[in-house]
Structure 1
Amino acid sequence: MTTPQPKPQRFVGLTGFAQRVGLAPGTISSYGRKGLLPPPDVIIAEGEGGRQIRGWTPAAIDYWATHRLGQGRRTDLRRPKNT
């Protein structure tokens, strides 16, 4: 009797990430360079010193999309407290 093989886990690349959240792939790529994306769930390297392909689970992308700051949101402005 053979042991059932585990179902492979699905990961989404940058283009799929962009499609899932409704942004352009260039925008997502820019967010990645600026450190605004969540850490990837998997990194596939093509050879030593080669290109790295990042991948995220759909759940990680959905979490990021619902918890990220909106466009134009300023986090450096604070209203003074009335004391």
Structure 2
Amino acid sequence: MTIHYLSRGEIADKLGVSLDAVKQYQRKSYLPEPDATVGRNQGWLESTIDEWHASRPGAGARTDLTRDA
């Protein structure tokens, strides 16, 4: 069985965002660590991106605020 790793471009297509947005996520350490690296090429399993995307706050959500207990 062949394992397919998503590139940053494929992640952008999957999420409906620009490649620059995905690169920004990675620079800011929002994107999970790649599942595979070969030389300078990085790849993510689709399940890794699906889980990460499902746990992200909605568009425009403030992540710098916390709710008092």
- TM-score norm. by structure 1 comes to 0.72
Query: By percentage of residues, which structure has more helix?
Result: 2
Equivalent residue for 1:71, pick from 45, 52, 59: 59
Return the index of the structure with the highest Cα Rg: 1
| 2:41 alignment partner AA | I
Runs of 4+ deviating beyond 4 Å = none
| 1:59 alignment partner AA | S
Map residues 3-82 of structure 1 onto 2, 5 A cutoff.
7-45=1-39, 52-80=40-68
Q: Kindly tell me the number of residue pairs found equivalent between the two proteins.
A: 69
Q: CA deviation at 1:80?
A: 4.8
| 1:14 alignment partner AA | R
CA deviation string 1:27-56 (max 9, x = no partner): 0001100100011100110xxxxxx11100
RMSD, aligned α-carbons: 1.6
- TM-score norm. by structure 2 comes to 0.85
Structure 2: distance between partners of 1:57 and 1:79: 33
